[in-house]
Amino acid sequence: MLKKTIFKTTLWASATAVFMLTSSASCYASASSASGSGGLLESLNPVETTAFGKKKGVKIKMRVQGPSVDLPYEEQFFPRGDVTEGSSDSQLIYADRKRVASSDNGDFSFYSFRRGSVRTADSVSVYGNLRVTSDLFQNDLRDVIRLHPSDAKVRRAAINYLDSTSTMPLFYFVKGEEMENAYYTRFQADDGTRYRMMDLGWYRPTVTRREYTAQQPDIVWHEAGHALVDAARPDLFSDSPKAGAYHEAWGDTNAMFTLLTHESARKKLIFDVRGDLHQPNFLRSMAEEFGKSVLGTNTGLRDLDEDVKDNGFVGEVHDKSRVLAGAVYDIVAKAYEDQMRVNGVLPSKALGEVADYLRTQWVYTLTLVGVLWKTMSFG
Ligand SMILES: [Zn+2]
């Protein structure tokens, strides 16, 4: 047993913790290397062309928002052949003890969601949330490589991502510790094995009630944002205030951009606010249920449309992150308005188009950030 202090990125509050961990032998394969743009594009491709058709690929049923937002569950087909009970695949490994078995077709789309049920439907839902956002990120990296084929920093980030996700698949706990929090971390056991891990905590808003961060896709996508940034840019996983604030902003913007890929969410969002994204809404509110239960707010854990100003990198990283995440929210809102008013594109389509474009650009900036680290501010 090894006891040591390690760095971790949380949903909110504290950033370090003392861990008890037992070392064990590595249970996954070693890194694959890809050289040349063609090799990188091929390795990043999340679509297995042989996974289409009868009894192939996998169907997953998942939440796209927490229980307080009235949105239908999403049923999605993933063209990959390596999804096993849990659910797990080569990059994402379900780490709770009780694993969910698939149907005879190998699917995980038949579960019914019930408040408090985190052993079956919710573990599949978290897998779906993680798979969706990981696939988007890989697609975006591919687009960025196509746009900047000879950019060494872009290639470096893509190689890092492939190396990290193949040598250190993400172990995720759906019903993790009892804590008003969730976190992502990477660490090395005393036998030298390196791990990446996501722990989705649960908490008791009242004596008789439990809430699960696993049931709040905003939280899953926030933590997934840390995991994706860390895979592509492991150098940013540090206790530097700038890196920390950047990481936290990435978590929140990753939740926003992933949600916007769901058409049902875009349509409901536009319906709810009559087209004005600066009205109170479930996109700008991060983790509504957590905000209400833990902080007593109606605007979630963080409000992405609050115009927080930069006053230097003093303060807690989750507070500092709101400057950058808020700026990205404003850019999305402005681009969406322009796409409608200037180009005459209908609201839901306009929002989907600008979110797709800006998300790819946002991934591109990930490959650049740090170059101007010393002089950079969020101002
Ligand atoms: Zn975080």
- Is residue 376 one of the residues assigned to a domain? no
**Rounded CA gap, 210 and 220, in Å?**
17
Q: Is 3 helix (H, G, I), strand (E, B) or coil?
A: strand
Q: Say how many Å lie between the CA of residue 27 and the centre of ligand 1.
A: 27
* Residue ranges making up the domain that contains 37: 2-368
Alpha helices in the chain (DSSP H): 36-44, 121-147, 152-167, 217-232, 241-260, 263-273, 288-290, 317-341, 347-368
Q: How far is the CA of 220 from the centre of ligand 1 (A)?
A: 10
- Counts for the chain of helices (H) and strands (E), in that order: 9, 12
Domain membership flag for residue 379: no
Compute, in angstroms, the gap from residue 10 CA to the centroid of ligand 1: 4
Burial class (CB in 10 A: 0-12, 13-18, 19+), 68: middle
Query: In angstroms, what is the span from residue 223 Cα to ligand 1's centroid?
Result: 6
359 found inside a domain: yes
342: CB partners within 8 A, 6+ apart: none
Task: Compute, in angstroms, the gap from residue 156 CA to the centroid of ligand 1.
Answer: 24
Please tell me the total count of domains within the chain.
1
Cα–Cα distance measured from residue 325 to residue 318, given in angstroms and rounded to the nearest whole number: 10
Say if 375 falls within a structural domain: no
Instruction: In whole angstroms, give the CA distance from residue 121 to residue 305.
Output: 32
Cα 323 to ligand 1 centroid, rounded to whole Å = 15
| CA 93 to ligand 1 centroid distance, Å | 20
> Is residue 378 a part of any domain in this protein?
no
Report whether 339 contacts 356 (CB < 8 A): no
Distance 316 CA to ligand 1 centre (A): 12
DSSP, residue by residue, 297-323: -SS-SEETTS-PPP--S-S-HHHHHHH
Q: Output the CA 192–ligand 1 centroid distance in Å.
A: 26
Model's pTM, two decimal places?
0.92
Q: Give the tokens for residue 359.
A: 């998300």
User: How many whole angstroms separate alpha carbon 177 and alpha carbon 175?
Assistant: 7
pLDDT digit of tens for each residue in the chain (379 aa)?
Answer: 445 556 788 888 754 544 434 333 333 433 344 557 789 999 999 999 999 998 899 999 999 999 999 999 999 999 999 999 999 999 999 999 888 889 888 899 888 877 667 778 899 999 999 999 999 999 999 999 999 999 999 999 999 999 999 999 999 999 999 999 999 999 988 888 899 999 999 999 999 999 999 999 999 999 999 999 999 999 999 888 888 889 999 999 999 999 999 999 999 999 999 999 999 999 999 999 999 999 999 999 999 998 887 776 567 888 888 889 999 999 999 999 999 999 999 999 999 999 999 999 999 999 988 755 666 666 5
Ion ligand 1, residue ranges at CB < 5 A:
9, 248, 251
Q: How far is the CA of 86 from the centre of ligand 1 (A)?
A: 24
Among 110, 135, 129, residue whose Cα is nearest residue 66? 129
Listed in sequence order, the residues at least 6 apart from 80 whose beta carbon sits closer than 8 Å to its beta carbon are 46, 47, 48, 51, 57, 58, 89
Specify which residues 198 forms β-bridges with.
172, 184
- pLDDT for 116: 65
Query: Ligand 1 centre from 239 Cα, in Å?
Result: 13
